[in-house]
Amino acid sequence: MAKLVPENHPALHTIAEEITPEEFSDGTVKKIVRDLKSVLHAYSMEGFTAVAIAAPQIGISKRIFLVEDQSHDRDSLPSFVAINPKLTKISKKTSESGEGCLSIPDYYGIVRRACNVTMQAQDENGNKFERGAGKFLAQIIQHEYDHLDGILFTERAEKVWNKTDLEKGNRDVA
């Protein structure tokens, strides 16, 4: 069974390779998607809900991520798979938001990201699509896209806290 790789795994720090046409037809894509969903559904950390995962997080250096909200206490996010995504529009307007990551479970941070993005990608069947996103979904897409480029949120964060410090109410830790 697939599992999250540790923070120092090379797949988390390198630019992922594009999915090839052969990988769509030989079952590779379907297996990666199945493994990503399995790990996302199995993720459990008190107080934190998984909403997305990228292939590098399970040690596969390929340009694929999926969004599938596991929360039941907010308006549901759309579920989709993005293969070989490209951000085609990024708004100049930005905002700061809190972020966490399955790959760095002990940390949480404040990251400045574009408020809106447009992405072109392929779905798990190889069909091309374009999707615009704002607010939380735009943040998620940018976070997952960063994973495909070997960037962890802590590298973009303006401030980072250890979750144990958050639980104690100490937000002055860098």
Joined tokens for residue 28: 């590779």
CA distance 100 to 163: 10
Tokens representing 23 are 């990988």
Annotation says 144 is catalytic: yes
The full length of the chain comes to 174
The annotated binding site for Fe cation is made up of: 101, 143, 147
Query: Which contacts qualify for 137-141: CB closer than 8 Å, 24 or more apart?
Result: 137/67, 137/77, 137/78, 138/113, 138/114, 139/97, 139/99, 139/111, 139/113, 140/51, 140/52, 140/67, 140/77, 141/67, 141/82, 141/85, 141/87, 141/117
Question: 73, 36 in Cβ contact below 8 A?
Answer: no
Which is catalytic among the residues 23, 68, 99, 144?
144
Kindly list the catalytic residues. Answer: 144
